[in-house]
Each structure stands twice: as C-alpha cells, then as structure tokens.
Structure 1
C-alpha cells in the first residue's frame, strides 16, 4: 500500500487553506451582480441593432395600394417608378411591426442598405474598441484608461 508523500496533518492543513479561497461571501455576490449588469448593457446594445435594422414593407403609395401577391422587391420597384415619374409627390404606405430606424428616417426599399451599414459600423466599432481599449488598459492600468 503506497504511503502519501504528505503527512495527514499537512494534507488537512492544505485542504483547509484551499477552502479559505473557495467561499461564497458578500463580495462574491457583489461581483457576480456587477458583472451581470455589465453584460446586460453590452448585450442590450448588440440586440438593439438587430431590431433597429428591421426594414418596413411598403404596401402602397398615396392612393395606390400594391397587389398583395407582389414580393417586397417588386413593390419597391413599383414605388420607385411612381416616385420617378410622379415628381416625388407620393406618400408611401408602410407596414411594420414597430418603429425602427428605417421607418423613422424613411429608409426603405433601396435605402435599407444605409441602415445595414450603420449596424455593420457599430459592430466593427465594438470589436475595434474592445481590442484597442483592452490593450491600453492592460498597458496603463484600468483606472487610468
């Protein structure tokens, strides 16, 4: 039967020493809650852009209601044709689930690309900012940054 290299007394003291570090106290609860709040705000920023980029469907223009069997691309083509020949006098009729950036700023049909680009720029900024400020805070300290 092999003997332990550490005496039983030393082994007991060692496990008591490790148990001191594995405790769940008020400070640990504070750190967990603080970390959760930080993650919640970060996730909120990312999820918001998913909803902000929702593009509305155009169902008509002024008194003209497009055929329901048309796809969104064909409806946009008809709308842009009416706008081009109608001297921009047509008020679009939009169908949407909520007022997104595209609805508020009038970005629909061919202008939807602008909203998608804004989302891409924000994601790129998040990635670049995380890398840049993470490195700066590692070099100079988190309080200074």
Structure 2
C-alpha cells in the first residue's frame, strides 16, 4: 500500500489555501507641511493593494489607513515619499493605566493623547506586606524584640 499512497498523494491536486490578512487600522505619524505633502502621502498609501480607506489629519500629523494591509508595508510606503514616518506613539488619555507617569507626557502630543508608558514603581506583592507586618504592635502573633 505504500506505493499506492505515494502515487495518490502525488497525483492529487491540492493547493494550499492562502491565509487572508486581517482587517486592521494602521496609524502613522508623518510631518506634513503643505497640501502637496498631504496629497503625495495620501496617493502613495491609497494605491496600495488592500487599503480600503485613507484619512490624513495634517493638524495632528497623522495618517490612518484601514484595510487588509500589513503595518510595516504601509510604513515603508510612506517613507518612500521622502517623509520621516513612524508608527503613531500616542494613545488616548483615558485608556492609559497610569497617565501621570513622567514618561507619558510629551510636548508634541496632540491634546487628549499621552504616550503609553509603564508605571515607574512596581505594585507591591503580598510578600512585601507580610514583611512589614512582621514587627507590628497591632499583631499579637508578631515577633517581638526586647
């Protein structure tokens, strides 16, 4: 049966199915000064295969691309226009767990946005609490030093 299985696998026509790219939104920070810069970036990105919609916000220096595209390819396409581009580093103020961290504030961030920075001090674990209550006067079972 080994030869028959080999021949049947050899002669069956099976094409591997390509995985479809997921629909996603890519936000890119691009410095645009004039209408020509805005038009050049918008035309470059809108001609990409899989791009459904392109929104350009010159006031915030932001380009939003929605569609079946890969983020790195969109970034590369925007950079090919000669503009300095990077992924959008800001998140809305109300979505950040610790918006009061010093690293979260950026002078160039638009109103209502901050950088997503981690908290400087980690949250104390339960073991830290056990060590602090070890010599407590309020705990009758605590160790006492005399």
Q: TM-score, normalised by structure 1?
A: 0.28
Indicate the structure with greater helix content: 1
Whose radius of gyration is greater, 1 or 2? 1
Q: TM-score, normalised by structure 2?
A: 0.28
Indicate the structure with greater strand content: 2
Larger RCO: 1 or 2 (CA < 8 Å, sep 6+): 1
